[in-house]
Amino acid sequence: MDMPHETALQLLARKLNLHHRLSDLDRQAILELPHKIRRLEAQSYILREGDRPDRCAVLLQGYAFRHKLTGEGARQILAINIPGEALDFQNLFLEEADHNVQMLSRGITADVPREAIEALIAEHSEVGKAILITTLVEASIFREWVVNIGQRDSRSRIAHLLCEFAYRVNAQELHTGAIYELPITQEQLADATGLTPVHVNRVLQALQREGLIERDRRMIRFPSWERMRDVADFNPRYLHTADLS
């Protein structure tokens, strides 16, 4: 898990460049951002609701999730983040975090001071655009989650979340029946879909019986991506990977 310090932000530069073509100079500016590497255990908090964030964590390894607690203490997961994604861009320019960010698995982050990101945006306008695009795509994913929980039945809802995760982690291999690590417990899956863990368990078993998914502990595989996509009512348009300039 060792990572040379100077290349730590390569993954972020690559992700941003996917969203918006960057010059060598822009990419260099990203790599040169001051940062501190942090190793985190599963469940550790990156950010808590009400915090005033002074740094922005970039996820280098492992998975993280965003969530909120209701007044009654029920938890709703809002998003899952994968390596290369910045966890605090949503809080740039906002004073107070309106949700929690927590590690889903063990992982590593590079923490960049917030002022350094703000300076980068001010001095490198194309990097600023790329960062804004990533936050806009995240917002689109939040919208789709409103739809997913608001309108889809439990079967499509869970299938949709599984499709989204697979697509974001590796869109190229969807049709090959590749095996994925699904770093999320049934309880977390329930909190991400507004269901109970018992209900989630029943649905996963049904999807398995129908041959739509194969599971072995944390590994999952879709024998037929097309069938899974149809059950999920999944259209990747909202991920905006096809229409990026």
3-state SS assignment for residue 81: strand
> Which two three-digit tokens encode residue 170?
């590796």
Do 61 and 107 contact (CB within 8 A), yes or no? yes
Minimum CB distance to another protein smaller for 75 or for 106: 75
Cα 195 to Cα 232: distance, rounded to the nearest angstrom: 16
Residue placing its CB nearer to another protein in the complex, 131 or 207: 131
CA 179, CA 243: separation in Å to the nearest integer? 27
Residue 9 Cβ vs another protein, minimum distance, rounded to whole Å: 21
Closest approach of Cβ 97 to another protein, in Å? 9
**Residue nearer to another protein on the CB measure, 76 or 105:** 76
Asked if residue 211 lies in contact with residue 223, where contact means CB atoms within 8 angstroms, the answer is yes
- What are phi and psi for residue 3, nearest 5 degrees? -140, 120
Of the candidates 66, 65, 9, the residue with the CA atom closest to the CA atom of residue 37:
9
Q: Minimum Å distance from CB 209 to another protein?
A: 23
Minimum separation from the CB atom of position 213 to another protein (A): 21
User: CB neighbours (10 Å) of residue 18?
Assistant: 15
Residue for token pair 């190229």: 172
Residue (52 or 218) nearer to another protein, CB: 52
Residues in contact with another protein by CB under 8 A are 20, 49-50, 66, 68, 70-72, 74-76, 78, 90-96, 98-99, 122, 125, 128-129, 132-133, 135-140, 142-147, 149-152, 191, 193-194, 233, 237-238, 240, 242-245
d(CA 156, CA 41) in angstroms, rounded, equals 32
* Residue number, 24 or 95, with CB nearest to another protein: 95
Q: In whole angstroms, give the CA distance from residue 47 to residue 237.
A: 30
Least distance from C-beta 227 to another protein, angstroms?
15
Residues with Cβ < 8 Å from 124, sequence gap 6 or more?
A: 25, 26, 29
Of 136 and 179, which has the nearer Cβ to another protein? 136
Minimum distance of another protein from residue 100's CB (angstroms) = 11
